[in-house]
């Protein structure tokens, strides 16, 4: 036995914490800024934060068995803290009450960032040995900032276009609105929209811009497909298409759902003549009216008549209008022969933007998006029966950051581990 | 070192090669019908052009969990014969339907056949209506309320449907009529009946004549028709035909089966090396590993050639690839340290992954076509390969960690020199695993950004990958901070096994796992068993050093902490 003490790499010696002196009584001194910085920069804190991040990500994954992915992202990863129910750890056939508080993604990520920056302030030295580490960590800073930028500024929406038609607005998939449209003007439609947040609350919605008062009866975040009902059967709806078909609430789509990929909201809503007047009936409005969607590329409106005027009412994703229009010339969908397995989707579109004097024809297909004016158009889906296309449109000012980060970290790791490995092999074969 | 010891590795390599080659070229032909030639006829099934042999083997695998069957005289017969029998209505007596469920056996009024479990369609037929009735009831239940019996009923009735669609020549996904050139469409046999009558489609005519001759037991006519059809294929579809021939060879060679045997022998050689002949046996195991690596690599390349795809396209191929990655890393470690450790890693991981792959192959063709969203060779070749190599590296570190714990607690073998070496191996492998899993995860994010504009979506699969990165980074930082040394790293690395297994399989089971009766069945059970075994290892690893046999020597006590 000739070597008892293991030689440690330099970085370890530098970072080794001082031996604890708990056995001796210590005078309580206020924490000096230098000590606080050292504490913030410690590797112990890094490891603790890694453990917390690990637990958070694990719980945030288990939570997706019951909750929608967006709900989980908001409550677990883009939050300062989260209440984690014990229920997520056991099979759902067993009911377990209670839970525990836990730091959320913003908090853990922020602390990791602070820890990392502090460590480099305290231990910064520009040598080859540390160049790799520096590069890796700078890359990670870029990565964390990119998630921050995405969380704060990214906007995603869907453009639905029937073949031969065009569209110039996006619909957001995580926010809905009730639109009341006066189509009587031949030039333009007059539209009033009520945001989802108001629809979820009880009570009469009154506004001068509305042609009638609106009273939400029941808002369903997700709903079952409309089922036909007999005229005599109990039915919340008293007017419109809701008299013939009924929908029921359904739990929001979870992160692991196989049957449904996104929520289909519906609502029962009553309309009343202004000023506490007579009821115009309770209607069912729903994102489900897909037979109409197939034929027209729009959801089926409910028609409400008041004072000899007819208004179209829709429940739909919140719309964002764009200066450009997208025409769908042709939608292609191929299957592998003899199967119902999708082989490819693509859309031949023409993009016209008068504000930028742009007019071009492009083919968008899976994994081949179109990037235009800070937005990216992806082939996301299609109208059932291949009648049209659905394009996901994303604006994310931070979209390039992960690419930069990836290169920085990968090069950093190659430099760092490469130097280590070279040194190790040299020592080994020299011995 | 005596002479025998010097030649031992060479001898082992020669024996292994002889085994692999003999397995590939063995022909068991004892039939008047030329099944061997028939096996290579290309057909199109589930979107892929493949030999009839592959269809036969995979269908039988689905029904029987075997790629051969026993005829009435209990003699082993090739799958292709079963397929021909099934398509000509002669398979009624072949015992191929695997039924283990007691309740189901009682329903069908069948006697249990312990250890064989297989029944013929004729045996099931008398109670077919009762089965159909039960299947209807089970189908009416929501997914998560079906119990084991319901699921077994549904499985059996699906298998019977498959069998009957073969019998009626109406399997919707099986297109047997070849086009006149590579770029035209394949057709099903039933839709071509008019052309068969008029005789204007040579391929349809040939297939129907083959079936007629087989049904009529006319071996000469059958063999003659086969020769002329092969000739026609050679003139019109030379590429597909030659690829199909190659696939038949690949099926027959069963390279992954051969490898699994080599891994077991490799492991045994290492075990014996702990008792005697340590040096030569370890070298022999190493070279055996090299042979296995060559076979394994060739098989992966063959799959790539057949599919025209990068190596990993589905869960089955991840198992194959991770095994390959672990073996490669194990052999590199062995070559550097020459102490048997790398051999153990390679053999254990190789055997385990080929076993997993075998169990993943029971639901059909392992060479399936890619769904539209995955249809990109670039990302399959980069992200998917790197991330799976990352899994492999994390597993290698975990296996070494496990070896460290077992060796330290139960033997006196973990002496300072070896302790240091194992520590180095774990550390180096985790560095490598961190590099791979990080790069792979980020590349996955970039793929997601390219295909739907979201770099990171926090979905279960992404989170699984992130957990591996976090865990590996944690181990490295804990070591750099002096919070753990070799022993701590070994324990943490074993936990890495749990994390990786969960990311690999666990996240896929979240949906079905947590609220269905199938939970304790099959893969979920084995995953949980694996996780528990690793927890036990971790608990053992956390025993105070006084309980570690290797550390009992007084001189070492101060050293460990």
8 Å CB contact of A380 and B452: yes
CA neighbor of A234 nearest in space, from A224, A226, A242 = A242
* CA pair distance B377, A88, nearest whole angstrom: 37
Q: Tally Cβ neighbours within 10 Å of residue B525.
A: 12
* CA pair distance B196, B169, nearest whole angstrom: 14
Per-residue pLDDT at A45: 93
Residue B295 near residue B289, CB atoms below 8 Å: no
* CA pair distance B95, B252, nearest whole angstrom: 22
Per-residue pLDDT at B514: 42
Q: Does residue A411 carry a pLDDT above 60?
A: yes
Q: Rounded to a whole number, what is the distance in Å from the CA of A332 to chain B's nearest CA?
A: 12
Tell me which residue has tokens 């490995």: A421
Measured over all CA atoms, what is the biggest interatomic distance in chain B, rounded to whole angstroms?
93
Q: Which residue has the higher pLDDT, B296 or A259?
A: B296
Q: Which two tokens stand for residue B113?
A: 């056949």
8 Å CB contact of B511 and A406: no
From chain B residues 466-485, the ones with a CB under 8 A of any chain A CB are 466-467, 470-471, 473-474, 477-483, 485
Q: Rounded to a whole number, what is the distance in Å from the CA of B137 to chain A's nearest CA?
A: 21
Which chain A residue's Cα is nearest to B171?
Answer: A338
Helix, strand or coil, per DSSP, at residue A11:
helix
Per-residue pLDDT at B561: 40
Query: Is the reported ipTM for this assembly greater than 0.85?
Result: yes
pLDDT tier, A258 (very low <50, low <70, confident <90, very high otherwise): low
Q: Tally Cβ neighbours within 10 Å of residue B308.
A: 8
Q: Does residue A276 carry a pLDDT above 80?
A: no
pLDDT tier, A5 (very low <50, low <70, confident <90, very high otherwise): very low
Per-residue pLDDT at A366: 80
Of A64-73, A120-129, B471-480, give the range with the top mean pLDDT. B471-480
Any A CB within 8 A of B49 CB? no
From chain B residues 94-113, the ones with a CB under 8 A of any chain A CB are none
Least CB–CB distance from B470: residue in A54, A77, A369? A54
pLDDT tier, A17 (very low <50, low <70, confident <90, very high otherwise): very low
A147-196 pLDDT, tens digit per residue, is 888 888 888 888 888 888 888 888 887 788 888 888 888 788 888 888 88
Per-residue pLDDT at B350: 94
Residue B298 near residue B255, CB atoms below 8 Å: yes
Tell me which residue has tokens 């790398």: B342
Tell me which residue has tokens 């294929």: B233
A321-353 pLDDT, tens digit per residue, is 888 999 999 898 888 776 777 888 889 999 999
pLDDT tier, A292 (very low <50, low <70, confident <90, very high otherwise): low
Query: At A34, which helix (H) or strand (E)?
Result: helix A33-40
Any A CB within 8 A of B452 CB? yes
* CA pair distance A11, A5, nearest whole angstrom: 17
Q: Does residue A127 carry a pLDDT above 50?
A: yes
Q: Which residue has the higher pLDDT, B553 or B53?
A: B53
Q: Does residue A50 carry a pLDDT above 70?
A: yes
Q: Which residue has the higher pLDDT, A30 or A39?
A: A39
B299-351 pLDDT, tens digit per residue, is 999 999 998 888 888 888 999 999 999 999 999 999 988 888 899 999 999 99
Q: Does residue A6 carry a pLDDT above 60?
A: no
Q: Which residue has the higher pLDDT, A293 or A287?
A: A287
Q: Which two tokens stand for residue A55?
A: 């637990």
* CA pair distance B89, B126, nearest whole angstrom: 17
In chain A, residues with a C-beta closer than 8 Å to the C-beta of B510 are 61-62, 64-65, 256
CA neighbor of B33 nearest in space, from B205, B227, B177 = B227
Per-residue pLDDT at A299: 67
pLDDT tier, A8 (very low <50, low <70, confident <90, very high otherwise): very low
Per-residue pLDDT at B326: 95
- Residues of chain B above pLDDT 90, percent: 35
Looking at residues B116-144, what average pLDDT do you find? 86
Q: Does residue A14 carry a pLDDT above 50?
A: no
Q: Does residue B519 carry a pLDDT above 70?
A: no
Looking at residues B491-517, what average pLDDT do you find? 79
pLDDT tier, A426 (very low <50, low <70, confident <90, very high otherwise): confident
Per-residue pLDDT at B459: 83
Q: Does residue A20 carry a pLDDT above 70?
A: no
Q: Which residue has the higher pLDDT, B27 or A425?
A: A425
CA neighbor of B500 nearest in space, from B353, B406, B392, B421 = B392
B521-556 pLDDT, tens digit per residue, is 567 888 889 999 999 999 999 988 888 888 876 444
B223-272 pLDDT, tens digit per residue, is 999 999 999 998 888 888 999 999 999 998 889 999 999 999 999 999 88
From chain B residues 403-442, the ones with a CB under 8 A of any chain A CB are 415-416, 420, 423-424, 428, 431-432, 434-435, 438-439, 442
8 Å CB contact of A255 and B514: no
pLDDT tier, A380 (very low <50, low <70, confident <90, very high otherwise): confident
pLDDT tier, B386 (very low <50, low <70, confident <90, very high otherwise): very high
In chain B, residues with a C-beta closer than 8 Å to the C-beta of A56 are none
Looking at residues B416-431, what average pLDDT do you find? 90
8 Å CB contact of B446 and A367: no
Mutate to test the interface with B, among A17, A18, A45, A47 (most CBs of B within 10 A): A47
Q: Does residue A431 carry a pLDDT above 50?
A: yes
Mutate to test the interface with A, among B185, B377, B452 (most CBs of A within 10 A): B452
pLDDT tier, A7 (very low <50, low <70, confident <90, very high otherwise): very low
Mutate to test the interface with A, among B419, B455, B485, B507 (most CBs of A within 10 A): B455
- Residues of chain A above pLDDT 70, percent: 88
Q: How far is CA B311 from the centre of its chain?
A: 13
Q: Which residue has the higher pLDDT, A304 or B514?
A: A304
From chain A residues 146-175, the ones with a CB under 8 A of any chain B CB are 146-147, 150, 156
In chain A, residues with a C-beta closer than 8 Å to the C-beta of B458 are 60, 69, 72-73, 76-77
* CA pair distance A326, A158, nearest whole angstrom: 12
Any B CB within 8 A of A428 CB? yes
* CA pair distance B64, B61, nearest whole angstrom: 5
In chain B, residues with a C-beta closer than 8 Å to the C-beta of A60 are 458, 463
Q: Does residue A22 carry a pLDDT above 60?
A: no
* CA pair distance B535, B501, nearest whole angstrom: 13
8 Å CB contact of A369 and B450: yes
pLDDT tier, A251 (very low <50, low <70, confident <90, very high otherwise): confident
From chain A residues 92-151, the ones with a CB under 8 A of any chain B CB are 92-93, 143, 146-147, 150
* CA pair distance B172, B315, nearest whole angstrom: 25
In chain A, residues with a C-beta closer than 8 Å to the C-beta of B309 are none
8 Å CB contact of A17 and B482: yes
The mean of the pLDDT values for chain B is 86
* CA pair distance A352, A357, nearest whole angstrom: 8
Least CB–CB distance from B514: residue in A65, A76, A258? A65
A194-209 pLDDT, tens digit per residue, is 888 888 888 888 888 8
Window from A316-320, B252-256, B374-378 with minimum mean pLDDT: B374-378
Q: Which two tokens stand for residue B297?
A: 């690599």
Q: In terms of DSSP H, where are the helices of A195-285?
A: 196-199
Q: Which residue has the higher pLDDT, B180 or B430?
A: B430
Cα–Cα distances in Å, from B125 out to B121, B171, B191?
6, 20, 28
Helix, strand or coil, per DSSP, at residue B451:
helix
Any A CB within 8 A of B460 CB? yes
In chain A, residues with a C-beta closer than 8 Å to the C-beta of B559 are 4
What is the interface size between A and B, counted as CB pairs within 8 Å? 199
Of B139-148, B199-208, B346-355, B373-382, give the range with the top mean pLDDT. B346-355
Per-residue pLDDT at B300: 95
Q: Which residue has the higher pLDDT, B208 or A339?
A: B208
């Amino acid at each position: 036995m000739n070597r008892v003490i293991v030689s440690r790499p330099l970085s370890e010696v530098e970072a080794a914490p001082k031996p604890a002196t708990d056995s001796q009584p210590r005078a309580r001194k206020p924490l000096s800024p230098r000590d606080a910085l050292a504490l913030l920069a410690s590797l112990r804190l890094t490891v603790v934060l890694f453990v917390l991040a690990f637990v958070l990500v694990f719980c945030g994954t288990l939570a997706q068995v019951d909750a929608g992915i967006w709900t989980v992202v908001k409550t677990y990863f883009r939050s300062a803290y989260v209440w984690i129910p014990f229920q997520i750890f056991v099979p759902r056939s067993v009911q377990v009450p209670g839970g525990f508080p836990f730091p959320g993604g913003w908090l853990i990520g922020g602390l990791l960032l602070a820890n990392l920056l502090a460590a480099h302030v305290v231990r910064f030295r520009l040598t080859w040995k540390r160049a790799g580490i520096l590069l890796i960590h700078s890359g990670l800073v870029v990565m964390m900032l990119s998630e921050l930028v995405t969380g704060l500024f990214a906007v995603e929406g869907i453009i639905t276009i029937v073949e031969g038609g065009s569209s110039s607005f996006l619909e957001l998939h995580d926010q809905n609105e009730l639109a009341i449209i006066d189509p009587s003007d031949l030039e333009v439609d007059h539209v009033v929209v009520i945001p989802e947040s108001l629809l979820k609350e009880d009570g009469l919605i009154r506004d001068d811009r509305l042609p009638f008062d609106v009273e939400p009866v029941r808002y369903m975040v997700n709903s079952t497909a409309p089922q036909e009902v007999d005229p005599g059967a109990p039915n919340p709806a008293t007017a419109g298409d809701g008299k013939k078909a009924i929908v029921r609430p359904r739990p929001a789509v979870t992160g692991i759902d196989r049957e449904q990929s996104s929520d289909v909201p519906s609502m029962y809503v009553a309309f009343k003549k202004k000023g506490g007047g007579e009821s115009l009936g309770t209607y069912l409005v729903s994102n489900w009216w897909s037979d109409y969607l197939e034929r027209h590329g729009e959801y089926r409106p409910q028609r409400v008549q008041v004072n000899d005027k007819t208004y179209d009412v829709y429940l739909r994703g919140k719309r964002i209008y764009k200066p450009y229009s997208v025409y769908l010339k042709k939608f292609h969908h191929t299957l592998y022969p003899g199967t119902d397995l999708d082989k490819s989707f693509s859309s031949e579109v023409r993009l016209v933007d008068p504000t930028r004097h742009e007019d071009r024809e492009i083919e968008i297909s899976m994994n081949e998006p179109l990037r235009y004016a800070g937005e990216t158009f992806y082939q996301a889906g299609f109208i059932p029966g291949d009648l049209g296309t659905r394009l996901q449109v994303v604006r994310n000012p931070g979209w390039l950051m992960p690419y930069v980060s990836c290169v920085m970290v990968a090069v950093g790791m190659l430099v760092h581990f490469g130097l280590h490995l070279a040194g190790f092999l040299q020592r080994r074969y020299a011995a | 070192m005596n002479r025998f010891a010097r030649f031992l590795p060479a001898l082992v390599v020669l024996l292994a090669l002889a085994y692999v080659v003999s397995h590939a070229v063995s022909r068991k032909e004892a039939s008047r019908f030329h099944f061997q030639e028939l096996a290579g006829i290309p057909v199109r099934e589930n979107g892929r052009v493949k030999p009839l042999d592959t269809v036969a083997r995979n269908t039988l695998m689905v029904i029987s969990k075997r790629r051969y069957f026993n005829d009435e005289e209990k003699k082993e017969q090739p799958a292709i014969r079963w397929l021909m029998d099934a398509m000509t209505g002669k398979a009624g007596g072949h015992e191929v339907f695997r039924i283990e469920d007691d309740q189901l056996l009682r329903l069908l009024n069948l006697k249990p056949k312990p250890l064989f479990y297989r029944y013929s369609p004729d045996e099931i037929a008398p109670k077919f209506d009762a089965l159909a009735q039960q299947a209807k009831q089970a189908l009416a239940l929501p997914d998560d309320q079906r119990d084991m019996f319901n699921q077994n009923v549904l499985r059996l009735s699906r298998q019977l449907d498959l069998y009957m669609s073969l019998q009626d020549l109406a399997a919707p996904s099986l297109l047997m009529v070849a086009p006149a050139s590579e770029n035209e469409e394949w057709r099903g046999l039933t839709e071509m009946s008019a052309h068969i009558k008029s005789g204007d489609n040579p391929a349809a005519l040939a297939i129907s004549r083959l079936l007629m001759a087989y049904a009529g037991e006319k071996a000469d006519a059958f063999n003659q028709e086969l020769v002329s059809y092969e000739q026609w294929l050679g003139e019109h579809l030379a590429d597909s035909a030659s690829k199909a021939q190659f696939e038949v060879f690949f099926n027959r060679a069963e390279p992954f089966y051969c490898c699994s045997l080599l891994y077991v022998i490799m492991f045994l050689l290492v075990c014996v090396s702990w008792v005697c002949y340590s040096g030569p046996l370890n070298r022999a195991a190493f070279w055996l590993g090299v042979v296995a690596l060559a076979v394994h690599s060739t098989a992966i390349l063959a799959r790539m050639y057949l599919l025209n795809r990068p190596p990993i396209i589905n869960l089955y191929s991840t198992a194959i690839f991770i095994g390959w990655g672990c073996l490669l890393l194990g052999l590199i470690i062995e070559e550097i340290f020459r102490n048997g450790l790398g051999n153990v890693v390679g053999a254990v991981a190789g055997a385990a992954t080929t076993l997993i792959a075998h169990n993943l192959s029971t639901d059909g063709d392992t060479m399936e076509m890619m769904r539209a969203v995955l249809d990109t060779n670039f990302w399959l070749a980069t992200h998917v390969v790197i991330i799976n190599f990352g899994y492999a590296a994390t597993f290698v570190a975990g296996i070494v960690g496990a070896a460290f714990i077992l060796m330290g607690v139960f033997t006196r073998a973990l002496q300072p020199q070896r302790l240091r070496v194992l520590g180095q191996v774990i550390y180096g492998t985790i560095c490598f695993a961190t590099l791979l899993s990080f790069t792979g995860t980020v590349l996955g994010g970039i793929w997601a950004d390219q295909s739907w504009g979201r770099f990171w979506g926090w979905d279960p699969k992404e989170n699984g990958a992130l957990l591996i990165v976090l865990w590996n980074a944690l181990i490295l930082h804990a070591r750099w901070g002096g919070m753990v040394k070799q022993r701590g790293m070994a324990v943490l690395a074993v936990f890495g096994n749990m994390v990786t297994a969960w990311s690999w399989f666990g996240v896929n089971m979240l949906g079905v796992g947590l609220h269905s009766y199938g939970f304790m069945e099959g893969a979920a059970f084995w995953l949980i068993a694996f996780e528990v075994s690793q927890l036990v290892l971790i608990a053992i690893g956390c025993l105070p050093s006084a309980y570690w046999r290797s550390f009992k020597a007084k001189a070492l006590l101060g050293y460990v902490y």
